[in-house]
Amino acid sequence: MNKKVVLQDLGFKDYKETWDYQETLFKEIVDVKIKNRRENTGLETPNHFLFVEHPHVYTLGKSGDINNLLVDEKRLKEKGASFYKINRGGDITYHGPGQIVGYPILDLDNFFTDIHKYLRLLEEMVILTLAEYGLKAERSDGETGVWLDVGTPFARKICAMGVRASRWVTMHGFALNINADLGYFDLMIPCGIKDKAVTSLNVELGKKEVDMEEVKQKLLRHFETLFEAELLKEKTEV
C-alpha cells in the first residue's frame, strides 16, 4: 500500500517563515512518535512534501565554513539577499527566484530507515526529471546533489541537497535551478566546492524561461514512484 504524503505548494515565501513551518511539522511528527513509544498508542505519523520559491537567501549548514560566503552583510543587503545559519548538513547554498525548492518532511519509519538511500532517491527523482528534458544528469562521487558532465572540466551543478534527520524524521531537502539568476552563485563557493560551475535548466535548454509548474509535476510523479507514495494535495495558508 502506498504511503500517504500531504503536498503543499507554499508559492513565493520568506526563508525563515518556511523554516519555522518546517520545524512545526517536524515537531508534530516527532511528538507522535514519542507518544507512540511511551504509550503504545499506534497513532499514524503524517508525512509532508513542501514546494516553495524563496527570495534571495544564503544558508550555511552545521558543518559549513562561513568563509565560503564571499561578501559582507552590506553587499548582501545591496543584492537584496539574507543569510541564515541552519541545522541541516552540508555547507553554503543559495535559494532564490527561479528555483524549485522541495522540503520532504517524512517519517522514514514509514518508508525505510536509511538516510543514504533517502538522499540517493531524491537525487534519482531529479535525474529522471531532467532526463525528460534530454539532459544526462548524474551523481558526483563524494558530492551530494545532481550534476551535469561529471568527470569533465565542464562539470556543473544543477541541484543542491542538504537534509537533517532526527528520530528518522527528515527536513530541509533540495534546490533545483530552473530559471535561476546564476550571478548570485558568484557571491559564494557553492557547497564549499571550488572550481565547479553552477547551471540552470533554462540555460541548458537555451530557453529564456522553463515552465516551473511542469517541472514540479514531473518531480512529483517520480517521487511517488520512487518512494511508493501517494501525494495528497492540500491548500494551506501558512
Q: Which of 176, 191, 201, 215 is catalytic?
A: 191
- Using CA atoms, how far apart are residues 214 and 195, in angstroms rounded to an integer? 32
- Using CA atoms, how far apart are residues 177 and 101, in angstroms rounded to an integer? 9
Write out the three cell numbers for 55. 527570495
Q: Do 64 and 90 touch, CB atoms closer than 8 A?
A: yes
**What letter represents residue 131's amino acid?**
A
Which run of H or of E encompasses 38?
A: helix 15-39
Which residue bears the cell 571550488?
194
- Using CA atoms, how far apart are residues 105 and 209, in angstroms rounded to an integer? 29
Is 159 among the residues known to form the active site?
Answer: no
The SS3 assignment for 129 reads helix
**Among 161, 181, 26, 170, residue whose Cα is nearest residue 101:** 161
Give the residue numbers annotated as catalytic, written as ranges.
191
